[in-house]
Amino acid sequence: MTLLDRKKLKEESNNSSNPNKNVCGLAVAKALGVGGVTKYLHTWGDLQRAIRHIWSFRSVASSINLDRNDTVGSIRNRVAKHFKTSGCIVYVVWVEGHVLLLGPKGETHIDTAPRDKDRRKVIKVYGVYPNIKNTTKLSRLREYLIKSKEQ
């Protein structure tokens, strides 16, 4: 098991105002209402932990037939097709050194390093689902939705 060196991750962070959280992870987490849930947002595991505070967060790689050569641009139509039957609300995509959020039609919702033609290789694709079976998470989701309507 590899131990994380938080000090090194903070030094290499691309967020000068809060080096505990990288810009792209924080943007995705904020969009999902979980930006302040965890102290750190440097790694995929950090982002998973934050998102799972309110949402169900599962891999959809096999459902969209993710191939090791797939790019963000090449999965957009498969994401849109998956959305129609999945109950998923958005998709978090991990590419080398970056994460972004895709919407139900495969369109980019959050990307702090946007591209006109996105040829970045996809490492993982996870779907974000409402967790209606867990009453604690459901009440957190309700609180988030109420706050977002007030703003």
138 pLDDT more than 80: no
Q: Which of 84-88, 117-121, 139-143 has the lowest mean pLDDT?
A: 139-143
Q: How far apart are the first and last CA of the chain?
A: 43
Distance of alpha carbon 64 from alpha carbon 83, whole angstroms: 10
**pLDDT tens sequence across 44-102:** 999 999 999 989 999 999 999 999 999 999 999 999 999 999 989 999 999 999 999 99
pTM (predicted TM-score): 0.88
**1 CB burial (10 A radius; 0-12, 13-18, 19+):** exposed
| Residue 34 · residue 53 · CB < 8 Å | yes
